């Protein structure tokens, strides 16, 4: 058992398997409702890494300061968030315990898309035209001043929840109701949470994300990920390539440089950053930027493509130490492709075992069975599963992923 514990904020199902965690080293903090609804106690039962599971309403104001004064002698070596909603709490808690973190001010700005737009726009970063709205009538006022397609989205949610592209206002009232009626299930507490909505001009172009590992403002590693979306009005990811397939070197360098500008603008300290961009006419427009590990399996893709232990380097940084130098160029490519299924009751699922046995398949995630329900695709949580693959290049890896996906047949009513 380590003398100084590692505090991890926000449960994810891979927690017990993170190899950097020594036996008895980890204190997990999560919301009481999330622990109950996700059966976290049972999931962590017998996990060698677990030192203690602490129930804490960490998303409430001043929750980190209250925690610090309740547990002043913990003296953690690491404080790190693993989910989006945990980033402000973890950053403030790291400040109070005197260990590396994003910085409470930076985390608060990055957690709020409206604040992020204001701050980064002032630093010269291109953003869509955007304003907060409280009703469909305010959306109509915005479109009257800025004609064309728009994006309706929450300022303070995650995983594309409540986000929709509107190419006309014909069904605006229904779209508004749809976007503000959000269900994140067992991932959030039951209490009412503030919701603020944004309306933004729609930027058409190729989409990318930039992942940076940062130590006290210094970038130690960078990667640009390519993104493909499902067709339709919901901007939900259908697949990713690492590194971004077919991207010019100059554009990759520009995206990394613009992400560094974002970090300077918000005053980011130490941690992992996942920053999303749309490139239109060669110019990157900021979508959003998160002070945490990316989702969608992108960390696994990065580790495969660059042949690195990204998680190990991250926890080294969060201990205030310097990791071994990380490569600037990938050794190969990796991709993830999400599955598609028609909403309805599942009748049969075929071909998954055959897909998992295909060469270069790294992992296959598919939990549907006959009798389950495939929901309409409204957020990232509604996707039916995924296939991760490797290749000599990222384009090669995506071809392998498409082949594996084509082997799987999900039949619904």
Write out pLDDT tens, residues 322-366. 999 999 999 999 999 999 889 999 999 999 999 999 999 999 999
Mean pLDDT across the chain, nearest whole number? 94
In this model, does residue 67 exceed pLDDT 60? yes
pLDDT at 98 over 80: yes
What is the greatest pairwise CA distance in the chain? 62
pLDDT band at 58 (very low <50, low <70, confident <90, very high): very high
d(CA 245, CA 228): 11
**115 by DSSP, 3-state: which?**
helix
- pLDDT, tens only, 254-281: 999 999 999 999 999 999 999 999 999 9
Show the domains of the chain with their CATH numbers: 6-99 (3.40.50.20), 129-201 (3.30.1490.20), 204-331 (3.30.470.20), 333-413 (3.30.470.20)
Q: What percent of the chain has pLDDT over 90?
A: 84
Structural element, H or E, at residue 52: strand 50-55
pLDDT over 60 at 2, yes or no: no
Phi/psi for 314 (5° steps) reads -60, -50
- Pairwise CA distance, residues 244 & 260, whole Å: 18
pLDDT digits (tens, 9 = 90+) for 306-329: 999 999 999 999 999 999 999 999
Indicate whether this model's pTM tops 0.85. Answer: yes
For residue 377, the model assigns a pLDDT of 85
pLDDT at 1: 43
Closest listed residue to residue 157, CA positions, set 235, 58, 85, 63: 85
Q: Is the pLDDT of residue 63 over 80?
A: yes
pLDDT at 186: 77
Higher pLDDT pick, 397 / 16: 397
Bridge partners, 175 (sequence order): none
E strands, 135-231, in order: 150-154, 164-166, 197-201, 206-215, 218-229
pLDDT score at 194: 86
73 pLDDT more than 80? yes
Tens-digit pLDDT profile for residues 143-152: 999 999 999 9
Q: Extract the tokens encoding 282.
A: 């060669």
The predicted pLDDT at position 161 comes to 77
Higher pLDDT, 77 or 12: 77
Query: What pLDDT, in 10s, does the model give residues 185-228?
Result: 777 888 788 889 999 999 999 999 999 999 999 999 999 999 99
Q: In terms of pLDDT, which residue wins out, 136 or 160?
A: 136
Relative orientation angle of helices 113-122 and 104-111, to the nearest 10 degrees: 110
- Helix ranges (H only) for 55-135 are 63-70, 87-97, 104-111, 113-122
Q: What is the spatial distance between Cα 64 and Cα 323, in angstroms, rounded to a whole number?
A: 28
The residue with tokens 């009513």 is 413
One DSSP character per residue, 347-364 reads EEEESHHHHHTSTTEEEE
- Using pLDDT thresholds of 50, 70 and 90, give the confidence band for residue 159: low
Query: What is the C-alpha separation between 48 and 39, in angstroms, rounded?
Result: 18
């Amino acid at each position: 058992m380590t003398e100084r514990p590692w505090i991890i904020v926000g449960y994810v199902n891979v927690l017990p398997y993170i190899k950097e965690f020594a036996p008895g080293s980890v204190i997990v903090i999560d919301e009481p409702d999330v622990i109950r609804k996700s059966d976290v106690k049972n999931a962590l039962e017998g996990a060698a890494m677990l030192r203690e599971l602490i129930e804490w309403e960490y998303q409430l104001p001043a929750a980190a300061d209250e925690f610090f004064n309740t547990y002043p002698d913990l003296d953690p070596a690491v404080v790190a968030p693993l989910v989006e909603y945990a980033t402000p709490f973890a950053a403030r808690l790291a400040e109070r315990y005197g260990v590396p973190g994003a910085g409470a001010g930076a985390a608060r700005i990055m957690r709020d898309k409206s604040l992020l737009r204001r701050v980064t726009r002032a630093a010269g970063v291109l953003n869509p035209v955007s304003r907060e709205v409280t009703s469909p009538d305010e959306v109509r006022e915005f479109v009257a001043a800025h004609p064309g397609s728009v994006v309706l989205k929450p300022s303070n949610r995650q995983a594309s929840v409540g986000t929709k592209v509107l190419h006309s206002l014909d069904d605006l009232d229904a779209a508004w109701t749809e976007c503000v009626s959000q269900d994140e299930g067992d991932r959030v507490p039951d209490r009412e949470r503030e919701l603020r909505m944004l309306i933004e001009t729609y930027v058409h172009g190729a989409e990318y994300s930039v992942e940076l590992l940062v130590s006290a403002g210094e970038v130690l590693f960078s990667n640009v990920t390519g993104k493909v979306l499902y067709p339709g009005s919901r901007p939900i990811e259908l697949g990713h390539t690492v590194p971004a397939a077919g991207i010019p070197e100059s554009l990759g360098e520009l995206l990394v440089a613009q992400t560094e500008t974002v970090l300077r603008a918000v005053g980011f300290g130490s941690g992992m950053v996942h920053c999303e961009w749309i490139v239109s006419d060669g110019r990157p427009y900021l979508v959003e930027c998160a002070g945490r590990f990316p989702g969608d399996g992108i960390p696994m893709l990065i580790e495969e493509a660059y042949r690195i232990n990204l998680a190990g380097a991250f926890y080294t940084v969060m201990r205030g130490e310097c990791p071994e130098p990380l490569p600037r160029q990938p050794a190969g490519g990796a991709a993830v492709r999400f599955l598609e299924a028609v909403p309805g009751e599942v009748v049969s699922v075929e071909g998954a075992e055959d897909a998992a046995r295909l060469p270069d398949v790294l992992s296959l995630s598919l939990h549907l069975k006959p009798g389950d329900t495939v929901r309409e695709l409204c957020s990232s949580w509604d996707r039916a599963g995924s296939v991760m693959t490797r290749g000599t290049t990222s384009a090669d890896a995506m071809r392998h992923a498409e082949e594996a996906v084509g082997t799987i047949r999900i039949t619904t009513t």
